[in-house]
Chains A and B, each alone.
Chain A
Amino acid sequence: EAGVAQSPRYKIIEKRQSVAFWCNPISGHATLYWYQQILGQGPKLLIQFQNNGVVDDSQLPKDRFSAERLKGVDSTLKIQPAKLEDSAVYLCASSSGGANQPQHFGDGTRLSIL
């Protein structure tokens, strides 16, 4: 079974620029999550999708972050404009969609803001 795929693996941008990350979940997984992991901390949930609908985006800084999952499969997360404090690893995870099914993570995109 192929795992969660993310790209790019690394991204370096200057503050105030925009950036986008892509995620392809495990085939058949209805639920998709985006997390932010700052160095030395655990992942923090940004947004959760069930198919193409948003379940929870309460911790997403909506003034600069946006995410979409138009066809209920792939997803993109965008930051515009980026701030220095956005430097982190952005992790995508998916689960089979049952209420309490475990999440499986991709290897993330490491974002550095200069």
Chain B
Amino acid sequence: QKEVEQDPGPLSVPEGAIVSLNCTYSNSAFQYFMWYRQYSRKGPELLMYTYSSGNKEDGRFTAQVDKSSKYISLFIRDSQPSDSATYLCAMYNNNDMRFGAGTRLTVKP
């Protein structure tokens, strides 16, 4: 079992849809959770950074962490074609950083 599991997709949605991206993990020691967006031929760009269980909202993006279930989510409201990218979840504790494989998202106009 991988430490971080993420459905690679691809996921295709129409413009304006609500997108739900998810990761599960096995190591309960992870305390910090991140979502990165990676456009083709670019480096990962930090979108959301959270600590502990609960929700964090930033514009159209909401990150959700459920430590008891070892499950994190990223929701994108009113999705736009410019949101088309690969979304990577990442988690961190004590110098140990692990990434999911990424979910490729396409938002069609």
Binding site for B on A (CB under 8 A): 4, 33, 40-45, 48, 55-56, 91, 93, 99-100, 102-108, 110
Sample of 18 further A-B pairs with CB below 8 A, known A42-B101, A102-B49, A110-B41: A4-B43, A40-B8, A42-B4, A42-B88, A42-B90, A42-B98, A42-B99, A42-B102, A44-B99, A93-B43, A100-B32, A100-B51, A100-B92, A102-B34, A103-B46, A105-B43, A105-B44, A107-B42
Binding site for A on B (CB under 8 A): 4, 6, 8, 31-32, 34, 36, 41-46, 49, 51, 88, 90, 92, 94-95, 97-102
| Contact partners of A102 in chain B: CB under 8 A | 34, 46, 49
Contact: B102 with A106, CB < 8 Å?
no
Q: Which of A48, A91, A110 is close to B44, meaning CB atoms less than 8 Å apart?
A: A91
| Contact partners of A40 in chain B: CB under 8 A | 8, 101-102
Shortest C-beta distance, B3 to chain A (Å), equals 11
Contact: A106 with B101, CB < 8 Å?
no
Contact: B41 with A107, CB < 8 Å?
yes
Shortest C-beta distance, B30 to chain A (Å), equals 11
With the chains together, A73 CA to B103 CA distance in Å? 33
| Contact partners of A55 in chain B: CB under 8 A | 95
Shortest C-beta distance, A96 to chain B (Å), equals 13
Contact: B51 with A107, CB < 8 Å?
no
